């Protein structure tokens, strides 16, 4: 079982490595230099290719079925309720981001309307510090961790996915924030000093005026 657990980790590493390389500004700038405005298609390509890669890796991954736990009533209802609340939180957090920009469809609209700015590479970035972003810098990652972990039953395969997802979210946030520091400079550095990365252990609000 340990070998299978490590094999799943190796596949997650392959996905994370390819995901990080494709998301790097160095790669995007190189593509923009060659393709110009067609870099507008990159975000959608990135999302689709990432989905295909993770689906393929999960399909070939070993699937150890050893049961780690199976909660009984009322604990199964309690943990399921936590999962539902985390899903609602994810939906609410998503309201504060531009979903079209995230998916890559907004870029295509600008491209076909002739308003795409190549200097933005594949995304028109916005510094968001309102709503859940006042309490945790990556509320989508936080909500995803709670959603994945709040399971009434857990086998080794699902636990492996959950465990490596946490590692992926943390490492991914590090690389993501390096790009945000490049984009927003001291504003984002100040934000980093006030708001926790993944887990909202500070509950006071940010004075947003200091970032505007």
**Nearest residue to 76 (alpha-carbon basis) of 159, 157, 149, 153:** 153
- Tell me the pLDDT tens digit for each residue of 47-83: 999 999 999 998 999 999 899 999 999 999 999 999 9
* Arithmetic mean of pLDDT, 186-205: 86
Name the residue ranges covered by the structural domains of the chain: 2-211
CB 97 within 8 A of CB 125: no
SS3 track for 128-149: CCCHHHHCCCCHHHHHHHHHHH
- Tell me the pLDDT tens digit for each residue of 2-52: 899 999 999 999 999 888 888 888 899 999 999 898 999 999 999 999 999
- Tell me the pLDDT tens digit for each residue of 162-187: 999 999 999 999 999 998 998 899 99
Q: What is the pTM assigned to this prediction?
A: 0.89
- Tell me the pLDDT tens digit for each residue of 106-162: 999 999 999 999 988 888 888 888 899 999 999 999 999 999 999 999 999 999 999
């Amino acid at each position: 079982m340990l070998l299978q657990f490590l094999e799943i980790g190796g596949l997650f590493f392959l996905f994370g490595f390819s995901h990080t390389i494709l998301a790097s500004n160095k790669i995007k700038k190189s593509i923009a230099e060659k393709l110009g405005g067609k870099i507008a298609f990159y975000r959608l390509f990135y999302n689709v290719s990432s989905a295909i890669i993770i689906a393929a890796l999960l399909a070939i991954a070993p699937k150890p079925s050893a049961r780690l736990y199976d909660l009984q009533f009322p604990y199964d209802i309690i943990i399921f309720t936590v999962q539902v609340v985390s899903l609602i939180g994810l939906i609410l957090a998503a309201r504060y981001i531009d979903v079209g920009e995230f998916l890559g469809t907004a870029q295509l609209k600008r491209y076909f309307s002739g308003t795409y700015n190549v200097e933005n590479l594949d995304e028109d970035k916005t510094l968001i510090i309102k709503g859940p972003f006042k309490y945790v810098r990556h509320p989508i990652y936080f909500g995803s961790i709670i959603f994945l972990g709040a399971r009434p039953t857990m086998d080794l395969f699902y636990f492996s996915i959950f465990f490596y997802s946490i590692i992926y979210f943390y490492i991914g946030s590090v690389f993501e924030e390096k790009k945000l520091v490049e984009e927003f400079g001291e504003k984002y550095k100040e934000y980093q000093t006030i708001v926790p990365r993944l887990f909202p252990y500070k509950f006071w609000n940010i004075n947003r005026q200091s970032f505007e």
